[in-house]
Amino acid sequence: MSKSHIVRQGECLSRIADRYGFSDWRTIYNHPANSALRKKRPNPNILFPGDEIVIPAARVKEEQIATGRLHRFTVKSPRKFLRVVFKDAKGEPFRDEPYAIQFSGGRAKRGATNGDGLVAEPVAMEEATATLTIAGRTLTLNLGHLNPNGDVEEDDLTGIQARLNNLGYTAGPNDGIYGRNTRAALALLQADEDLEPNGLPDEATLARLEKLHGC
């Protein structure tokens, strides 16, 4: 029997799939009962707290094996990755830049960005934060906490504020409130992108913000 799951802050589909015993999040996302969710959240990696997801009933898989022998079964588990691109104030990527990353679960890793300034690391399902040191800067990353730009309850602006802050436009804390700092940050973005600098989160501005941010 299927069941309903209400998304909480910081959850992603891979983590939800793992919780309910699915090896692939697509089994949940592509289920016919989640057609409304797919329309509302075309990017399955970005959910909003309160979104409702239908969890389909698990299917029992049977295998025929010989008795009197030792058999090994491999169970696939969902995977999730951290992918962040770093650029300077001129938009040039941090190429081949060394970095160190410490995950909340205790795992540490060192590496270097690729030619596009990309940091790409696998992340354990239970890890919620990571501390990344790169180019003399130390950043705390809240994994899975990026909210959608639009179609959210009570005109919540946390997704807009997070993207602005990530891009270097200081929008203040991600409190979801349309305040002075958020308005100023939106106006600066609009001016840089040759849009009307009215400081409003209109459709054109949000589309440009999402494109610049990458998601």
Residue 93's pLDDT band (cuts 50, 70, 90): very high
DSSP state, residue 106: S
Biggest distance spanned by C-alpha atoms of the chain: 75
Do 125 and 14 contact (CB within 8 A), yes or no? yes
Q: What pLDDT score was predicted for residue 77?
A: 72
- Cα 186–205–117 angle (5° rounding)? 80
How big is the chain, counted in residues? 215
Query: Domain boundary at 142, 166, 185, which?
Result: 142
Query: Domain boundary at 112, 142, 172, which?
Result: 142
* 172/147 Cα distance (integer angstroms): 16
Examine residue 108 and state whether it is found in any structural domain, yes or no: yes
Higher pLDDT, 158 or 72: 158
CATH code of the domain containing 162: 1.10.101
Query: Domain boundary at 142, 166, 194, which?
Result: 142
Q: What pLDDT score was predicted for residue 86?
A: 93
In total, how many domains does the chain have? 3
Neighbours of 102 (CB within 10 A): 16
Q: What are phi and psi of 67, to 5 degrees?
A: -85, 165
pTM: 0.82
